[in-house]
Amino acid sequence: MPVYEYECQSCHHRFEKKQGFHDKPVDKCPRCGGKPRRVIHSAPVIFKGSGFYVTDSRKKPPDMGEVKEKPAEKKGKGKKK
């Protein structure tokens, strides 16, 4: 069950209440009996897994120290002039 936070409009007392989705909102402040309102918070964002960082999607550059040479041409079975 979710936990909702309320703030009293009269005394500004903040309190939490565990309620189901279909339960009615709290109508009385436990401290002064005034009318509370539900406090809305932004949801946290949690990034898990790969693909969320700039470095995850880039191709790795070839090593600069490694020089690739062309394969040597085959000698022998060619046409002679």
* Residue scoring higher pLDDT (50 or 37): 37
Domain ranges of the chain: 1-56
**Taking 70 as the threshold, does the pLDDT of residue 25 lie above it?**
yes
Q: Return the pLDDT at 44.
A: 84
Mean pLDDT of the chain: 79
Neighbours of 4 (CB within 10 A): 17
Fold of 1-56: Rubrerythrin, domain 2 (2.20.28)
Q: Return the pLDDT at 41.
A: 85
Residues 47, 50, 52, 54: is their CA dihedral positive or negative? positive
